[in-house]
Amino acid sequence: MNKTSQAGTIQVPKDRMKRRRRQQRRGLVASYLFVLPYLCLLLMFGVIPVIYAFGMSFFDTISGVFWGITNYKMAFQDYRLEEAIYNIIGFVALWVSVTIIVVTGLSLMLDILSRRVATTIRTIYFLPGAITSSAIVVLWLFLVDPLVSPFQAVFHMFGWEARQHVVNGLGMVSLFAIMSFFAHSGGWIIVMGGALSGLSREVMEASRVDGANLWQQAVYVKLPMIWKSVALMGILTLAGGLQIFVEPQLMGMAGPQYARSDWSVNQLAFQYAFSMGDFGISAALSTMLITVSVTIALILIFATKFYQVK
Amino acid sequence: MTRLPETIFGCFGALSMSLFASASQAQTQITVWSDTARISTFEAYDAAHPDIDLELLTVDKDELVTKLQLAMRAKADVPDVIFMSSSNHPAQLSTRRTDYLADISDVVSQDIFDGFLPNANSVCSLNGGILCLRNDVAHLVMWYDKPLMDELGVEMPETWEEFEQLGADLTARGEGYFLGSGVQPDIVIGMLGASGCEIGFPVDGAENTLRIDLSTEPCLRMAGLIDRMLENGSLLRFGTSEPGLITQASAGKIVMSIGPTWFGEYVMKPNYKIPEGHLTAAMPLRWADEDKPVAWSWGGGNFGYWKETKYPEIASDIITWATTQEDHLINAVTMPAYEQPSIAWGERVNNDPYYATNDVYDTMLAAAAYSSPHFASLGYDMRSAFGKTISASLSTDGKLVDLLSVYEKELTNAARLAGYKVE
């Protein structure tokens, strides 16, 4: 009864409804057309390679024979895997937490400054990020050598006289976290600056009138409003961190004693494919790595209600 | 009239086809992957053989295996002939997973093999086959500053014991003189290998089987010597290319260094800035209770070819030519592995006014006779295992003796992973 009466009250002429529906459909088609080029690229260079690797991980790629989970078993039997996993867990934990705390803190502080000063400082922060991470590694190999580094005095304070002392003292995990932090945080500071400048002035004004000081404004007003940008930073940093490759791979440039070709899981996958020629085990490792990344990203997205629109 | 265009086309077609045919008959195309230093060798071969057209591609040392993997997997653009800059390439390119190299033991004549310097092809001999020809030998000799040693009034040691004693005497003076690096992986591995320490010796007759045992007397004896020399400062805790060592070497404090045949020309002359008339070479050292020295190696390149190449005769001719032809080897950048051109090349080194004496090559040639037969091509990297387990500690205050067991474990694991049986 209720339903029919409701339907009856709308009473829209049939042809107008049809026209509106057609318009809606046309809008939908247009939006699909807009995302189509990206979808094609995503399919070709993102989805299909993942499916291909997934399929390959169940084959002996040398003779092309299906052999079930043998590749996974062999990957797990690799004596270097456990250590590599610990390495990346340590690296990700350190890098992500430092990035979130320092970048958010710096961004909130920059937001207090006048716009021109803040923009200048942001640009300076961004500069190291404009260098590719491979070049950053080479740069760092010099920065951590007490004989040529501008931080000589700091290193000498700790009693570090040679590059090896610095590398030992910091540990590979912190060293790579520092390298990555300086390579990537500048970009995030700019993103955060954008998020903060988008906040409504009225809200800020109101909080000031209500007597909130700068600290309270930053922590209780601004931070909750840019929370999603912080979460995004966390998710992307984490996904990138799990795939760490360039930093340890290039350590060998400082001499064979620093070479760590098996430091991260990604490096192991690379080594299996390109130095041992076993694409199957490489695909198995890569599949496991992407599964972990996607799972963690999904958990974070749901936990932070990332896509929920208020 | 209407036929004219067709006739013209027909004529051109026939002409161009015959031209094409004669060109393809005349020249056989061979794809070659080389490093930059060996390009001139291949160009010389190309010039000397009008019927063969070499298509040269420069491939970076670290990318050779990677690129080859991809080419073989894609079954396209696989090179017929390659130059391998690393001693480990032959092993890496002859596994079940990457079966690239052809066995040349029955293709190249015995006379050729016999013409190489002793054990020059030890890196090419794998599992009973011979998979490549050695381009240059890089055994370790003793490089020393002759005028400096005369000034200090000391003699060139012949045994490890004398070497240690000299280090102790010099450091006792407190003038900063030292005898090279005690942590450079290649040198420490070389010293252990020369002492007879089984750091990965292939077992004769047993396929893919290695002997790895670092708990034996030859290992402990050498490790103890290195530890004592690091302790008193006669060997530095810096690698050969680290600023810490280079600064002191450039200040004229380096008395001698263990180094491969290319060390004088490419490290000590340009990096350590040893002035003209100072540097010269001496024989590798031995233990006092042994009658002859053993020389381990650091580097040396090799030529090999694809087992599925369409032109195996030409490919084997190229690698034989490249390693044996005197005309171009006389200008080679490093010491040729084939004896006859090596001697011709050595004339130049002997007469080089940069060296303090005119017998540098004679010494390197004499030392070649003691090249270790155990210096082999391996499917894993002994040096990165060293970097992973030893370097951090040894470069600060660690003792090599204490680190040998960790290194042995890492080497054993790496060897097993690469498909070796370890005895």
In this prediction, residue A7 carries a pLDDT of: 45
Identify which of A147, A275, A276 has the shortest CB distance to residue B244. Answer: A147
Residues in B touching A258 (Cβ below 8 Å): 387, 391
* Residues B372-399, mean pLDDT to the nearest whole number: 92
B245 shares a domain with B227: yes
Between chains, do A257 and B381 touch, taking CB under 8 Å as contact? no
In this prediction, residue A10 carries a pLDDT of: 55
In this prediction, residue B237 carries a pLDDT of: 93
Confidence grade of residue A161 (pLDDT, cut at 50, 70, 90):
confident
Instruction: Identify from B84, B388, B390, B400 which residue to disrupt to test chain A contact, counting A C-beta atoms within 10 A and taking the largest count.
Output: B388
pLDDT tens for residues A232-249? 899 899 988 999 998 888
B4 falls within a domain? no
Task: Kindly report the nearest CA distance between residue B239 and chain A, in angstroms.
Answer: 8
Between chains, do A275 and B383 touch, taking CB under 8 Å as contact? no
B287 shares a domain with B228: yes
In this prediction, residue A139 carries a pLDDT of: 82
Percent helix / strand / coil, chain A, rounded to 5: 80, 0, 20
Please say if the pLDDT value at position B116 is more than 60: yes
B312 shares a domain with B411: no
Between chains, do A274 and B97 touch, taking CB under 8 Å as contact? no
Tell me phi and psi for residue A210, to 5 degrees. Answer: -70, -5
* Residues B119-130, mean pLDDT to the nearest whole number: 94
Domain positions in chain A: 2-42, 70-303
B194: three-class secondary structure by DSSP? helix
B7 falls within a domain? no
In this prediction, residue A15 carries a pLDDT of: 79
In this prediction, residue A112 carries a pLDDT of: 87
C-alpha distances out from residue A109 to A217, A226, B181, B341, Å:
11, 14, 50, 71
Tell me phi and psi for residue A211, to 5 degrees. Answer: 95, 20
Kindly provide the ipTM of the predicted complex, given to two decimals: 0.75
pLDDT tens for residues B341-371? 999 999 999 999 999 999 999 999 999 999 9
Q: For tokens 């670092």, what's the residue?
A: B214
B129 shares a domain with B151: no
Count of beta carbons in the 10 Å neighbourhood of residue A111: 21
Count of beta carbons in the 10 Å neighbourhood of residue A170: 17
A142: three-class secondary structure by DSSP? helix
In this prediction, residue B17 carries a pLDDT of: 44
In this prediction, residue B311 carries a pLDDT of: 95
Task: Kindly report the nearest CA distance between residue A134 and chain B, in angstroms.
Answer: 16
B226 falls within a domain? yes
In this prediction, residue B75 carries a pLDDT of: 87
Please say if the pLDDT value at position B220 is more than 70: yes
Confidence grade of residue A98 (pLDDT, cut at 50, 70, 90):
very high
What does the mean pLDDT of chain A come to?
Answer: 86
What's the CA gap between B403 and B400, in Å, rounded? 5
| % of residues, chain A, pLDDT over 90 | 34
Task: Kindly report the nearest CA distance between residue A95 and chain B, in angstroms.
Answer: 23
In this prediction, residue A255 carries a pLDDT of: 75
| Listed range (A10-24, A200-214, B94-108, B389-403) with the worst mean pLDDT | A10-24
pLDDT tens for residues A51-92? 999 999 998 877 778 888 999 999 999 999 999 999 999 999
Identify which of A260, A275, A279 has the shortest CB distance to residue B65. Answer: A275
In this prediction, residue A24 carries a pLDDT of: 81
**Pairing of the two strands B421-422 and B209-213:** parallel
B83 shares a domain with B157: no
pLDDT tens for residues A129-152? 777 767 777 788 888 888 888 888
Task: Kindly report the nearest CA distance between residue B73 and chain A, in angstroms.
Answer: 9
Between chains, do A168 and B384 touch, taking CB under 8 Å as contact? no
Confidence grade of residue B228 (pLDDT, cut at 50, 70, 90):
very high
In this prediction, residue B52 carries a pLDDT of: 94
B96 falls within a domain? yes
B293 shares a domain with B148: yes
Q: For tokens 């004499």, what's the residue?
A: B366
Between chains, do A162 and B242 touch, taking CB under 8 Å as contact? yes
Between chains, do B384 and A258 touch, taking CB under 8 Å as contact? no
Please say if the pLDDT value at position B10 is more than 50: no
Query: What type of residue sits at position B181?
Result: S
pLDDT tens for residues B65-98? 989 988 988 888 999 999 999 999 999 999 888 8
Identify which of B65, B387, B396 has the shortest CB distance to residue A256. Answer: B387
Domain topology for A70-303: MetI-like fold (1.10.3720)
Domain count, chain B: 2
C-alpha distances out from residue A252 to A116, A190, A244, B244, B384, Å:
42, 32, 15, 18, 9
In this prediction, residue A81 carries a pLDDT of: 94
B317 shares a domain with B273: no
B230 falls within a domain? yes
* Residues A26-42, mean pLDDT to the nearest whole number: 91
Q: Who contacts A188 (Cβ-Cβ below 8 Å, separation ≥6)?
A: A99, A103, A233, A237
pLDDT tens for residues B233-287? 999 999 998 888 999 999 999 999 999 999 999 999 999 999 999 999 999 999 9
Residues in A touching B413 (Cβ below 8 Å): 79-80
* Residues A200-206, mean pLDDT to the nearest whole number: 87
| % of residues, chain B, pLDDT over 70 | 94
What does the mean pLDDT of chain B come to?
Answer: 92
Determine the structural domain holding residue B169 and report its residue range.
140-297+378-422
In this prediction, residue B11 carries a pLDDT of: 45
Please say if the pLDDT value at position B293 is more than 80: yes
Task: Kindly report the nearest CA distance between residue A232 and chain B, in angstroms.
Answer: 35
B147 shares a domain with B124: no
In this prediction, residue B25 carries a pLDDT of: 52
